[in-house]
Amino acid sequence: MAFDYDLFVIGAGSGGVRAARIASSHGARVAVAEEYRVGGTCVIRGCVPKKLLVYGSHFAEDLADAQRFGWNTTGATFDWPTLRDNVASEVDRLEGLYGQTLGNAKVEIFRQRAVIAGPNLVRLADGTEVSAANILIATGAWPSIPDIPGAEFGITSNEVFHLQQLPKRAVIAGAGYIANEFAGIFNELGVEVTLVTRGDKMLRSYDQEIVEKLVGISREKGIDIRFNFKCPAIRQQADGSFMVESGDGADVETDLVLFAIGRVPKTKDLGLEALGVALDKDGAVIVDEYNRTNVAGVFAVGDVTNRVQLTPVAIREGHAFADTVFGKNPRTIDYGAIPTAVFSNPPIAGVGLTEEEARATLGDVKVYKSDFRAMKNVLAGRNERALYKMIVDGKTDKVVGLHLIGPDSAEILQAAAIAVKAGLTKQAFDDTVALHPSMAEELVLMK
């Protein structure tokens, strides 16, 4: 049977764009459909604009610290529309580059919604139907909204980048990286922040000693963190503000409610169920190690599979898919020792096993720590301390985990993650000469 395309990709995010580009480089005829903007969550409404807001918010502390370094910053002010609009302009620029990349790769772009209409068949929003030998689902994930009265009064990370003005007060609901990052951003920009979660912990996948350090520092910076906050309802008040109910009488009055309670795979109404594509209880597309679904010719990569919701992982999955299907080079992804970071204030970063995981799986574990104050903080008169942890297998001396909280943790961890991935030993760290004076030198000085 002759098909219109060798590959049709639904979703032009990081995974979909990489898959389309690489498949085309292997000689495939490729098309991509995107219902919103090319670039996906990361570029348009996720890690890129959020990291720019993180940079912008850090100037609050930097300007205050600068005075101890001899700089006169009297009269410095902040203007939200300037930051918001400049970030939006950068997003526009990046979207253009993504579209240009697809164009240069001779990938046809349909800027409209697409769904699966049958075996090897895709229907576009304008009614056009096209056939494809292979269909790749790369639609990503979408913010969750709680099923409570008044949920319509809240916003998500999709809308937060477009606020007309900063609120005086904000309640952020969530315990993950998005909640903690926006708590830090808003707090530094002068917003009175209350961070609430239904559970008794933040950032469950991270080393809990590091997380406890973040919670303590966040509270010292003025963020009101409340655990076991049930939030049964939200009420709008006569003056336009909101009352976020706690379930125990400790309600919070606020001007903005931001939901950051997780993200669910975006598979609704894509035609997957009708075709018989298997989904899990959360709506994620179930795939094997080669990104194949249970239906021949249908594949999925990225957040829509709910394996690891990270942009670099989606990119690798998309690349491996294209090499496997069109490049005659079957490849799978190794999901072990993936470095991750939370761009909170201060940031945390980790790779490998946490102390809790290592003790549960290895038994014989050695933990090395360095609790110190960064040189810059010392001169600035800031008492904020950093904490680095190294988790070592007691039997083999291999470093199986690294976990950091402190300035530039993510930048420092990237190189160190190579050592964990490579299975280097604690002795290898000890044998490495320290780069002095730096925070990173603490990684080779722990005893």
Which residues are identified as catalytic? 436
Beta pairing class for 141-143 and 169-173: unpaired
Residue 110, helix vs strand vs coil: strand
Beta pairing class for 298-300 and 129-137: parallel
CA-closest candidate to residue 44, choices 12, 16, 79: 12
Report the alpha-carbon distance of residue 227 to residue 196 in Å, rounded: 6
Cα 146 versus chain centre, distance: 20
Cβ within 8 Å of residue 80, ≥6 positions away: 163, 165, 166, 189
Query: Considering Cα of 180, then 184, then 185, then 187, what sign does the dihedral take?
Result: positive
Cα 398 versus chain centre, distance: 28
Q: Check residue 265 and report its DSSP letter.
A: E
User: Six-digit token pair at 261?
Assistant: 């309670």
Residue 443, helix vs strand vs coil: helix
| Cβ–Cβ < 8 Å for 414, 399 | no
Q: Check residue 106 and report its DSSP letter.
A: T
Q: What are phi and psi of 17, to 5 degrees?
A: -65, -45
